[in-house]
Amino acid sequence: MLELTVYGIVYGSIIALGAIGLTLIYGILRFANFAHGDLMSVGAYIALFLIQVVFPLLGVPQERFGGTSFGWPLILAMPISAGVTALIAIALDQMFYRPLRARRASPVILAMASLGAAFIVRNLIYIFWGPDKINYFPGLYRPAWQLPFDVRIRPDELIIVVLAMGLVALVYFFLQKTKLGKAMRATADNPDLARVTGINTEQVRVWTWGIGAALAAVAGIMYGVNALLYPEMGWGFLLPLFAATILGTVGNPYGALVGGLVIGIVQRISTAWLNPAYQPAVAFLVLIVVLLVRPQGIFGGRS
* Residues of the shown chain interacting with another protein in the complex, contacts defined by CB under 8 A: 32, 34, 96, 99-100, 105-109, 111-113, 115-117, 119-120, 123-124, 126-127, 130-131, 179, 182-183, 185-186, 188-190, 192-200, 238-239, 242, 246, 275, 277-278, 280-281, 283-284, 287-288, 291-292, 295, 301
CA separation, residue 202 to residues 6, 98, 127 (Å): 41, 10, 33
Q: Which is nearer to another protein, 82 or 243 (CB)?
A: 243
Q: How far apart are CA 177 and CA 69, in angstroms?
A: 36
Largest CA distance in the chain: 59
Helix, coil or strand: residue 54: helix
**Nearest distance, CB of residue 132 and another protein, angstroms:** 11
Strand locations in the chain, DSSP E?
145-147, 151-153
Residue of 238, 177, 35 lying closest to 117 (CA atoms): 35
Q: Which is nearer to another protein, 115 or 228 (CB)?
A: 115
Q: Which is nearer to another protein, 18 or 73 (CB)?
A: 18
**Nearest distance, CB of residue 205 and another protein, angstroms:** 13
CA separation, residue 216 to residues 20, 36, 89, 125, 146 (Å): 8, 7, 10, 16, 30
**Nearest distance, CB of residue 287 and another protein, angstroms:** 6
**Nearest distance, CB of residue 111 and another protein, angstroms:** 5
**Nearest distance, CB of residue 71 and another protein, angstroms:** 32
Q: How far apart are CA 7 and CA 2, in angstroms?
A: 9
Q: Crossing angle of helices 279-293/253-270, nearest 10°?
A: 130
Q: What DSSP letter does each residue of 193-228 carry, written as one string?
A: HHHHHT--HHHHHHHHHHHHHHHHHHHHHHHHHHS-
**Nearest distance, CB of residue 298 and another protein, angstroms:** 15
**Nearest distance, CB of residue 12 and another protein, angstroms:** 18
Check if the beta carbon of residue 28 is closer than 8 Å to that of residue 208: yes
Q: Which is nearer to another protein, 148 or 177 (CB)?
A: 177
Return the number of other C-beta atoms located less than 10 Å from residue 99's C-beta: 12
Q: Which is nearer to another protein, 146 or 275 (CB)?
A: 275
Q: Which is nearer to another protein, 101 or 154 (CB)?
A: 101
Q: How far apart are CA 93 and CA 113, in angstroms?
A: 10
Q: Which is nearer to another protein, 9 or 283 (CB)?
A: 283
Q: How far apart are CA 69 and CA 156, in angstroms?
A: 7
**Nearest distance, CB of residue 186 and another protein, angstroms:** 4
